[in-house]
Structure 1
Amino acid sequence: MDLPVCLIEGRTDGKLQVNAEAIGILSRIRQPVVVVAIVGLYRTGKSYLMNKLAGSQKGFAVGSTVQAQTRGIWMRCLPHPTKEGLTLVLLDTEGLGDVEKGDKKSDTWIFCLAVLLSSALVYNSKNVIDEYAIEKLHYVAELAELIKVQSGDDDIDEAEYSRHFPIFIWALRDVMLKLEHNGKPITEDEYLEDAMTLKKGNSQKTLETVNKHNKYKDCIRMYFKTRKCFMFDLPSGDKNVFQNMDKVSEDQLNQDFLKNVKKFCDYIYNKAEVKCVDDIHQVTGEILANLVTMYTEAICSSNAACVEDVVTNVSVVENTRAVEEATQYYVEKMKEEVIFPTETLVQIIEISEECEKEALKIFMKRSFKDNKRHFLKKFMKNIDQKKSEFFEKNDAESRKHCEKLIKKLSKDLKKSLKEDSYLRSGGYKMFTDEMEGIEEKYKNEPRKGTKAMEVFQEFKKSKTKKAIKIMKKDEALSHQQKKLEEEKKKTELLDVEKIMKKCIESAEIEKKELEKKIKEKSFKEIVKMEGNQRRLRQDKLQTVIRSMERERDTYNSQGFMEYGRKSQTFIDKLEKKKVAIFAVAWVVLLGLAIGVMVVRPTAAPMVATVIAAGVGLLTG
């Protein structure tokens, strides 16, 4: 995108509305996305930073008057500058606190959407981080009213926020102060953390204000586990240059300012991660389009968004597509790999095994929150159905090829039979010699496929009555020889029928044995993938817990025991969640085993043999 488009616009009735054009653009992006949103007071230079992240001077509107330029939320998508295979999505939001707008509710909604949609949230302000600046960040405290993590469970919401919220970057503009604390130099990050330190009221008069500011600071500390600060010098001392930042060349700007801009951009490029849902599943442009629509509708219709409900709704869409995409991959790959007919049943089963394995990876990569394994079962059922179709086609192509081959090889035989050429003395031997010759040539032909034996036996069976007729007319044979030959042909006919039956039974047994081995591998692969996902979720949760432990220790060391106890409560809830993830894994294993048996009843003995392996993978 060379230019931004409006993603979410404000309507005349004060509600927010998603722009269909922008949603269409996002829906076509199949790559994972890194989403960077910038929020802050209007006329503080947010759009300039977003243009720099896009690697351009123009794009997002940069104004030079006291009027706000950006309305709603504007979006620009581009290939990630440093990470291959990712798309960078930049969201420039309407300035908060615009007096002309006169709608504070809209400000809160926009801030809330920026938090929910981004993987990195930039808060832009000017000069210093003081109590006034903290006051302006009251939107953070309002997140608890607008965002629910789980439906029907208010108690755990705040403890869960930092799992779902982005990294927090404070961009402080036009800074003139010296970075010192108690006479010692400090870093930008230390300055931010010092500004986030809670204070104690000196009097009853100030206590209410201090407590309110402490609440805002506590929200920032508890909701955003990763915090960063960047401080920017004045871009220029020249008023004309300052008011035309999108038009002037960089050599007209303060070089220290430009260095800080580069540091800021480099940090975003390297540290802002792919947006995730359900802890570990990467958001593509397609998924982001659904999140934008669902979160906007939820906030505007009920003034609250439930993360769990939105993610569940998105997961239904994604799981449905995961089934379709993985099934389609299997079908296309089989068409590409299988040359019909295969020489043996083993060949097509081995090809199918590899295709199914890759299709399963595609399904598992895209599928998420499939807690009852409804979509996994559907995928497995689809694969079974498509596999059967390929096996049937392989048999049909083999039969077609073999019948065509026999027709070609028996052309002379057919002609002789039609002309009654064998109905004479010595005709029976001529007939049997011809049949043996056809059989020899047939055996030496390659690539006959799975129905080769069955088709030839059918051919032999079809010629048995002809053979008996020829033998009875052959005057070169004695009565005794004819009697023996007739008995021999009748025995051969029974043998042919037995061989045909055995061919079918053997093929079915071989198929079931091979399928059993493949299903064992598939089951183990699914359990392994589930185990890996469980460990990733636990690792993510442990990172959040460690962050909260640091906040708890800081509060306690500074004498804010009440906040320390609150942090410990959050930690306890998340520890239970961590244990629950492990417990759920056992339920998943059992459910998966039952699911396999429902879809494939013959797999029951196999499931028992791999449960032990699954247990090992889950506990590993």
Structure 2
Amino acid sequence: MMDRPVCLIENMPDGRIQVNASAIADLSQIRQPVVVVAIVGLYRTGKSYLMNKLAGSQKGFDLGATVQAQTKGIWMRCLPHPTKEGHTLVLLDTEGLGDVEKGDKKNDTWIFCLSVLLSSALVYNSKAVIDEDAIEKLHYVGEMAELIKVKSKDNEDDEAEYSGHFPIFIWAVRDVTLKLEFNGRPITEDEYLENALKPKDIDSQGSSETVERHNQYRDCIRMYFKSRKCFMFDLPTGDKDVLQNMDDVSEEKLSPTFMAQTKKFCDYIYNQADVKYVDNTHTVTGETLATLATTYTNAISSSNIACMEDVVANISVAQNTAAVKEATQHYGDKMEEKVKFPTETLDQIIQISEECEKEALKIFMKKSFKDNDHQFYKQYGAIIEQKKSEFFKRNDLESRTHCEKLLKSLSKELEDLVEQGAYVHLGGYQKFKEEMERIEKKYNNEPRKGTKAEEVLQDFKKSKEMLRVTIMKNDEALSEQQKKIEEEKVNKEKLEQQRRMEESRRKEEDRKLEHQRRIMEEHLREALEKEEEERHRLHEQLQSLMHHKARESDKYKSQGYEEPAGMYQEQIKDLRQRQEEVNSPNWRPLVVTGLAAAASFFFPPSALVAGAALLGVTQLLHR
């Protein structure tokens, strides 16, 4: 985590904006979900002070004490979230809007749009009062539609969809001296904001052009942001010297009312600012946020248009590529760590592999995003199967190498006696048999021979077959009848051993297949759980959007504006239809059949069907 802010997005001398590679690298290291709070507003309005309070420190973001703007570009500070365990709070302090020293006004719009696109909570900071002038200064909201598109193709309903992707909106009004009253009665801060956002009638005083402009920015704020909140702050102090040194003075020198208002603001942010999401379903980590910042900055700087759909597609490729790499790397690393080659039995390495595969699968499923055609899932599965095959082969090879070395050591005395001709005499065959039995017994008593122990032993006995026959035929102590009986006995033993070996191989294949069945079951279970979770999250997002649009519709209707109220009702109708599609049970067969089709690239058909049977979803494969 950062003990001081770093510049995330830089303003270049030629007017361009670009990400700071060092800050992006730091952000990419954060694997926790992030809550991103950005603050925007005119320069010299005290934005950096609020950011420092959210960071729980007095210093950090540069406050400055002159009329010259201090913050350039967008500065970032990351720290553990105060109330959400396992989450990171990312604070973005932006260059002041309307800086007279900055010639290119479009830069302000870029900074504003990036703040909206990257944050889950946007704080707009202004001074004294929310009046026509204050809302006019928020004209960047009205300009966003020219810079931000939801879909790559032209869509007349684009603006209506922004609220599903934009952050919550918080208006912080600083240095307030007015009394919160309306028509002679006390009102809350939120009521004050809502009253300021009321549209005007076209028939009211003023030209139609003036009224339309008045309503445009208000409509945008109400439409784009699904949640609005207002905080009003008294002057921190009447002492000018204290105001100019806010990052050095103690809190005791500041107004208790101001400090209480600041605490209330911070508590609201900590508790109400949600995790940042992409496409309403995918949790953004620091790593994802780094990709978002880079992609959006490049898009805005190069083409002046940022398309969310295209950015999501780019993030999907980057995220899924990283998911494949991280998950398969995890499997390989854990296998190297856990497997002590050679394992005593096949079941041991199967069990270890199964554990590592489940861990890797969870990583892939958690990290993968919008892998709609299962392209990256196929890559993941194929790599895992290849790595697993290599580990199993290595296990067999190390077992074979160890066993061959062991038999070579145990049979040294036999080889020496053969070389000396010790068995080419009367009764030599019996001595040879006894020596072979002694070797086999000692070999069988040796631990950790591995999966190829029996196979290597049989290979060893076969290698001595010609020698056995020769010694037996030359042993005059045996009659022809005895030699015939001995030969039949040996042949019978060989047939029995061959039968046992074939049975062993069949059982080995069955165990491997059973392992594949269990893994396929795990794949289906994880996929269904992931889809269920994403659909539940999307359901909640749609529910929240419908609530927001219903609230706006009711407000417009109560104020006599039937047309915008009806527009919101049409949007609610579309959202409700989409929610019904999300909640339909028909998605389960699609997930199962889609995953099964993709898994057929690396799993045998029997494992697919059996895995589905174990999970109780076989019938879905045939729908």
TM-score over 0.5 for the alignment? yes
* 1:545-567 CA distance string (max 9 Å, x none): 22212222222232211111211
Q: Tell me the amino acid that sits aligned with residue 541 of structure 1.
A: L
Q: State the SS of the aligned residue for 2:156.
A: helix
* 1:71-470 to 2 correspondences below 5 Å: 71-203=72-204, 205-470=206-471
* 1:560-601 CA distance string (max 9 Å, x none): 111112112322333344345456665443321211112324
Taking only the aligned residue pairs, the percentage that are identical comes to 62
* 1:356-377 CA distance string (max 9 Å, x none): 1111111111110111111111
TM-score by length of 2: 0.93
State the distance in 2 between where 1:509 and 1:526 align. Answer: 26
For 1:17, the equivalent position in structure 2 comes to 18
For 1:596, the equivalent position in structure 2 comes to 599
Q: Contact 1:464–1:493 (CA<8 Å) still a contact in 2?
A: no
Greater mean alpha carbon deviation, residues 336-345 or residues 324-333: 336-345
Q: Contact 2:33–2:86 (CA<8 Å) still a contact in 1?
A: yes
Q: Runs of 4+ in structure 1 displaced over 6 angstroms? A: 614-617
Q: Contact 1:278–1:368 (CA<8 Å) still a contact in 2?
A: no
State the distance in 2 between where 1:463 and 1:92 align. Answer: 81
Q: Contact 1:428–1:467 (CA<8 Å) still a contact in 2?
A: yes
- Structure 2 residue 474 is the aligned partner of structure 1 residue 477: no
State the distance in 2 between where 1:362 and 1:592 align. Answer: 17
Q: State the SS of the aligned residue for 2:384.
A: helix
Q: Contact 1:524–1:610 (CA<8 Å) still a contact in 2?
A: no
- Structure 2 residue 610 is the aligned partner of structure 1 residue 606: yes
1:604 deviates by: 4.9
Q: Contact 1:233–1:256 (CA<8 Å) still a contact in 2?
A: yes
State the distance in 2 between where 1:105 and 1:533 align. Answer: 37
* 1:39-50 to 2 correspondences below 5 Å: 39-50=40-51
Cα gap change, 1:609 to 1:22, in 2 (>3 Å): same
State the distance in 1 between where 2:418 and 2:572 align. Answer: 90
* 1:238-294 CA distance string (max 9 Å, x none): 122222222322221111111111221222222222222122322222222221121
CA RMSD of aligned residues (A): 2.5
1:48 deviates by: 1.4
* 1:175-231 CA distance string (max 9 Å, x none): 112223344333222322232233324446344323322232222122111222111
State the distance in 2 between where 1:614 and 1:477 align. Answer: 65
Greater mean alpha carbon deviation, residues 595-604 or residues 352-361: 595-604
TM-score by length of 1: 0.93
Q: Tell me the amino acid that sits aligned with residue 606 of structure 1.
A: A
Q: Contact 1:524–1:613 (CA<8 Å) still a contact in 2?
A: no
Greater mean alpha carbon deviation, residues 454-463 or residues 24-33: 24-33
For 1:564, the equivalent position in structure 2 comes to 565
1:162 deviates by: 1.5
* 1:506-521 to 2 correspondences below 5 Å: 506-521=507-522
* 1:289-310 CA distance string (max 9 Å, x none): 2211211111122221001111
Q: Tell me the amino acid that sits aligned with residue 290 of structure 2.
A: A
Q: Tell me the amino acid that sits aligned with residue 393 of structure 2.
A: E
Cα gap change, 1:52 to 1:401, in 2 (>3 Å): same
Q: Contact 1:128–1:175 (CA<8 Å) still a contact in 2?
A: yes
State the distance in 1 between where 2:370 and 2:588 align. Answer: 13
1:62 deviates by: 1.8
* 1:469-496 CA distance string (max 9 Å, x none): 1211222211211122233334444544
State the distance in 1 between where 2:460 and 2:43 align. Answer: 87
Cα gap change, 1:604 to 1:362, in 2 (>3 Å): closer
Q: Contact 1:527–1:614 (CA<8 Å) still a contact in 2?
A: no
Q: Contact 1:457–1:499 (CA<8 Å) still a contact in 2?
A: no
Q: Tell me the amino acid that sits aligned with residue 521 of structure 2.
A: E
Greater mean alpha carbon deviation, residues 153-162 or residues 107-116: 153-162
Q: Tell me the amino acid that sits aligned with residue 592 of structure 2.
A: L
Greater mean alpha carbon deviation, residues 200-209 or residues 308-317: 200-209
Gapped runs of 5+ residues in structure 1? none
State the distance in 1 between where 2:574 and 2:78 align. Answer: 38
State the distance in 2 between where 1:614 and 1:281 align. Answer: 29
Q: Contact 1:159–1:571 (CA<8 Å) still a contact in 2?
A: no
Greater mean alpha carbon deviation, residues 101-110 or residues 22-31: 22-31
Cα gap change, 1:110 to 1:387, in 2 (>3 Å): same
Q: Tell me the amino acid that sits aligned with residue 591 of structure 1.
A: G
State the distance in 1 between where 2:236 and 2:242 align. Answer: 8
Q: Tell me the amino acid that sits aligned with residue 610 of structure 2.
A: M
Greater mean alpha carbon deviation, residues 287-296 or residues 483-492: 483-492
1:116 deviates by: 0.2
State the distance in 2 between where 1:585 and 1:16 align. Answer: 45
Greater mean alpha carbon deviation, residues 485-494 or residues 109-118: 485-494
Q: Contact 1:551–1:567 (CA<8 Å) still a contact in 2?
A: yes
State the distance in 2 between where 1:423 and 1:265 align. Answer: 97
State the distance in 1 between where 2:618 and 2:48 align. Answer: 52
Q: State the SS of the aligned residue for 1:433.
A: helix
1:236 deviates by: 0.7
Q: Contact 2:519–2:611 (CA<8 Å) still a contact in 1?
A: no
* 1:363-398 CA distance string (max 9 Å, x none): 111110111111111111111011111111111122
Greater mean alpha carbon deviation, residues 322-331 or residues 425-434: 425-434
State the distance in 1 between where 2:6 and 2:458 align. Answer: 70
Cα gap change, 1:179 to 1:614, in 2 (>3 Å): farther
State the distance in 1 between where 2:424 and 2:484 align. Answer: 17
For 1:526, the equivalent position in structure 2 comes to 527
Cα gap change, 1:187 to 1:32, in 2 (>3 Å): same
State the distance in 2 between where 1:30 and 1:137 align. Answer: 34
State the distance in 2 between where 1:391 and 1:588 align. Answer: 31
Q: Tell me the amino acid that sits aligned with residue 235 of structure 2.
A: L
